Amino acid sequence: MKVRGRNYRTVWLDRKTLKMIDQTCLPHSFRVASFKKYFDVADAIRTMVVRGAPAIGAAAGFGLALAALSYRGRDAEELRDELASARAVLAGSRPTAYDLFDALDYVFSAKDECSVEKIKLRAATLAQQYADISVERCRRIGVHGARLIKSRSSVLTHCNAGALAAVDFGTALAPIRFAHKASKKLFVFVDETRPRCQGSRLTAWELAQEKIPHAVIADNAAGHYMRTGRVSLCIVGADRIALSGDVANKIGTYEKAVLAKENRIPFYVAAPVSTFDMNAISGDSIPIEERSPDEVTHIQGKNMNSVRVASPGSPALNPAFDVTPARYITGIITEKGVIRPNKAAIRGLARG
């Protein structure tokens, strides 16, 4: 992604330091955070310095590589144990996005090498490979998804499934980027996405960088724009997709999908294969993260200033994701093409 004319990925390894665009500071300031220890990477995932399913995956993969690279001993068995502990800590950082576990499995296979040096080298290579593959998957999602966007259409998106949520390009925003690049005239309705406002803070910022016409709308306004014929299609990302085609994504996605069906508007989910959990039979088996109630009772402004907006003393509930049943989803845009949200099509993805 271009930031002030320079190309950036969301996460990248610079020798033995992991760098990330600090998403807690956007849109007010653009900062790059640095990490040398895997437990600090786990903390960055937990506190959402990095967030979005594919970005969390790549960050966790690099985190595991850091655990290998910072090992000072000479005992391969001891290094394998360290990698297993690091993997458990990173896996415990956030529960819903499947890419996190997919990336950890990928990089953890470095343990099968026979010496300390080989394990280190393999872990670093695999983490880099994982990030590069993730970029290519998102690029292809962009190519396939752009075909669904006609000129003079308006797209509604929820949360941030842009380059910031991936290593580059994004998932839901990749088709929008490619359609804009192909000079199609389009407009994007950006759901604010309370409580953490990933839409108004991050998606709006990304679209502004690319000069893609858009407007932020309050979450409650989506139904109004759909009913009055102003939305041509919806594209959202995913945190985990079950074998049934049910999709877990940012809280509020489900109600947008129901509204879309009621108003006969196509509702697409964009996700790479790393987001599909072939062991989750249906959406009911997807763990839904509960975050701090403070995210609901307070709003964060510039310089991390937090202001309480809820009545003092009132408790709050804060599920971070919801499940949209497959029957509300028109199609899933993957790097292999657009598929139907059902078991046969999803099993077909795994076969290649």
Binding site for ligand MRU (CB under 6 A): 51-54, 97, 159, 161, 165-166, 170-171, 198, 237-239, 249-250, 320
Q: How far apart are CA 246 and CA 237, in angstroms?
A: 13
Minimum CB separation of residue 96 from ligand MRU in Å reads 8
**Position with the least CB separation from ligand MRU:** 237
From residue 208, how far is each of 177, 204, 242 by CA, in Å? Answer: 12, 6, 33
- In Å, what is the CA distance from 268 to each residue of 135, 257, 340? 20, 9, 10
Q: Which amino acid is at 245?
A: G
User: Smallest distance from the beta carbon of 128 to ligand MRU, in angstroms?
Assistant: 20
CB 212 within 8 A of CB 180: yes
Contact 238, 171 (CB under 8 A): yes
Name the minimum Å distance from CB 338 to ligand MRU: 16
For the CA atoms of 210, 263, 200, 251, the dihedral, rounded to the nearest 10 degrees, stands at: -120
C-alpha 241/C-alpha 326 separation (Å) is 10
Q: Name which of 113 and 239 has its Cβ closer to ligand MRU.
A: 239
Closest listed residue to residue 127, CA positions, set 206, 62, 71: 62
3-state class of 217 per DSSP? strand
Minimum CB separation of residue 272 from ligand MRU in Å reads 8
| Cβ closest to ligand MRU, residue 13 vs residue 166 | 166
Give min distance, CB of 51 to ligand MRU, in A. Answer: 3
Closer by beta carbon to ligand MRU, 58 or else 126:
58
Local structure of 42: helix, strand or coil: helix
Structure-token pair, residue 287: 């763990």
Could you tell me the smallest distance in angstroms from the CB atom of residue 263 to ligand MRU?
A: 21
Beta partners for residue 121, in sequence order? none
CB atoms within 10 A of CB 53: 29
Q: In this structure, what token pair is assigned to residue 26? A: 């956007």
Write the DSSP assignment of 181-201 as a string of letters: HTT--EEEEEE--TTTTHIII
- For the record, the structure tokens of 294 come out as 């403070």
Report the residue number, 111 or 180, with the smaller CB distance to ligand MRU: 180
Annotated catalytic residues are: 239
Q: Which is nearer to ligand MRU, 159 or 260 (CB)?
A: 159
Q: How far apart are CA 262 and CA 308, in angstroms?
A: 35
